[in-house]
C-alpha cells in the first residue's frame, strides 16, 4: 500500500511531537516535514528524530500551504494545537481543501461542526483520540438513548486530572455530561472538578511521578440520594502513546472516506 501522506500541526507541542514520532516510524504513513504552529514559536525548524520539520506560523502559512499542496499532492492534516485556535484552524483547512483529523479539544464545537459541514472536505473530530475511550463513550451514549432517566435522583461527581500545562477542562469529560443529563442527572460542564496541581495528583490521586507532565485521569461517580448505592466509572491514561494509535486509525478511516468520495465524483463526471 502506498503510504498516506500526513502533516501534523502543533509541533513542538508535546502531544503533536509524540504523535509525529509514532507516524514517522510507521511505514503506512509518510510525514510531511512541515507543521503549522503558534505565533509565539521563535524557531523556524524543529528536529524530530531523523526529520527536520519546518514550522509555519500564522503569518507564513497562507503563502506556504499552496506550495506544500503543489509539491506533496494529496495529504491528510492532523491537528493537535491549542483550544483557542481550533475554529481558526478548521476554517483554514476547509478553505484550502485539507481533510483533517481534529484531536485538539476546546473551541466552539458547534461552529466547528458547521464549518466542516458547509465545506467540501471530510474530517474526523473527537475530543479524545484513544479509541477505547471513544468506545466507552459510545456505550454511555447507547445507555443514555435506550434508558433515559435511569439514574434520576442520583448525585454525580466528575473529576478529571491532566498535566499542569493543559489550559482547558477535559473535552472528554465535557462530552460525557450530556449522556449523564439524558440518564436523569442535573449536571453542567461547570460542575466538573479540574485537577492540575502536581502535588494533589501525586499524593491524593496516586499518579506516578513520571506521568505528571502527561496523563489523563477521569472518574465519574454516581451516588444514590440516600447514599446507599454508588457506581463509579474510571479511565486513567498515563503518557500520550494511546492517542497516537487512535490518531493513526482515524487517519486510515478518513483516507478511505476521501478516496471513496473522489472515486464516486470521478464516476459522476464520466
Query: What are the tens digits of pLDDT across the range 225-239?
Result: 999 999 999 999 999
Where exactly are the structural domains of the chain?
4-125+241-269, 131-238
Reported as a pLDDT band with limits 50, 70 and 90, residue 43 is confident
CATH topology of domain 131-238: Dihydrodipicolinate Reductase; domain 2 (3.30.360)
What pLDDT does 264 receive?
43
Asked if pLDDT for residue 205 goes beyond 80, the answer is yes
Q: Quote the pLDDT of residue 54.
A: 96
Give the active site residue among 166, 174, 215, 218.
166
Residue-wise over 185-216: b if at least 16 C-beta within 10 A, else e?
Answer: bebeeeebeebeeeeebeeeeebeeebbebbb
166: annotated active-site residue = yes
Percent of the chain topping pLDDT 70: 96
The position carrying cell 481550533 is 86
Query: Could you tell me which residue, 261 or 114, shows the higher pLDDT?
Result: 114
Angle at 231 between CA 225 and CA 232, to 5 degrees: 130
* Candidates 5, 22, 159, 162; catalytic one: 162
List, for residues 52-107, the tens digit of each pLDDT value. 999 999 989 998 999 999 999 999 999 999 999 999 999 999 999 999 999 998 89
Question: Which stretches does DSSP call E strand in 80-122?
Answer: 100-102
Terminal-to-terminal C-alpha distance of the chain? 26
Judge whether residue 179 has pLDDT over 90: yes
Instruction: Give me the pLDDT at residue 167, please.
Output: 82
Q: What is the per-residue pLDDT for 50?
A: 86
pTM above 0.75, yes or no: yes
Residue 124 Cα distances to 9, 66, 121, 141, 143, angstroms: 15, 23, 10, 18, 24
Average pLDDT, the chain: 92
- Write the CATH number of the domain with boundaries 4-125+241-269: 3.40.50.720
Amino acid at each position: 500500500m502506498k503510504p498516506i501522506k500526513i502533516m501534523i500541526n502543533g509541533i513542538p507541542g508535546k502531544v503533536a511531537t509524540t504523535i509525529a514520532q509514532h507516524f514517522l516510524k510507521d511505514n503506512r504513513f509518510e510525514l510531511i516535514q512541515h507543521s503549522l504552529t503558534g505565533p509565539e514559536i521563535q524557531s523556524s525548524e524543529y528536529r524530530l528524530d531523523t526529520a527536520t520539520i519546518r514550522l509555519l506560523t500564522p503569518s507564513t502559512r497562507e503563502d506556504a500551504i499552496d506550495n506544500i499542496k503543489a509539491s506533496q499532492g494529496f495529504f491528510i492534516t492532523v491537528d493537535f494545537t491549542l483550544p483557542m485556535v481550533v475554529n481558526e484552524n478548521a476554517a483554514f483547512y476547509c478553505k484550502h481543501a485539507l481533510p483533517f483529523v481534529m484531536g485538539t479539544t476546546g473551541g466552539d464545537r458547534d461552529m466547528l461542526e458547521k464549518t466542516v459541514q458547509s465545506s467540501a472536505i471530510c474530517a474526523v473530530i473527537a475530543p479524545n483520540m484513544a479509541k477505547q475511550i471513544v468506545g466507552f463513550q459510545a456505550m454511555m451514549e447507547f445507555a443514555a438513548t435506550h434508558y433515559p432517566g435511569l439514574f434520576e435522583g442520583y448525585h454525580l461527581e466528575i473529576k478529571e486530572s491532566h498535566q499542569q500545562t493543559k489550559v482547558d477542562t477535559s473535552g472528554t469529560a465535557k462530552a460525557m455530561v450530556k449522556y449523564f443529563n439524558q440518564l436523569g442527572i442535573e449536571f453542567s460542564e461547570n460542575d466538573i472538578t479540574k485537577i492540575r496541581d502536581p502535588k494533589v495528583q501525586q499524593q491524593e490521586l496516586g499518579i506516578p511521578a513520571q506521568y505528571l507532565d502527561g496523563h489523563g485521569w477521569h472518574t465519574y461517580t454516581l451516588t444514590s440520594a440516600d447514599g446507599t448505592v454508588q457506581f463509579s466509572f474510571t479511565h486513567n491514561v498515563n503518557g500520550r502513546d494511546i492517542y497516537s494509535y487512535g490518531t493513526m486509525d482515524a487517519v486510515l478511516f478518513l483516507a478511505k472516506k476521501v478516496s471513496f468520495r473522489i472515486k464516486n465524483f470521478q464516476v459522476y463526471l464520466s
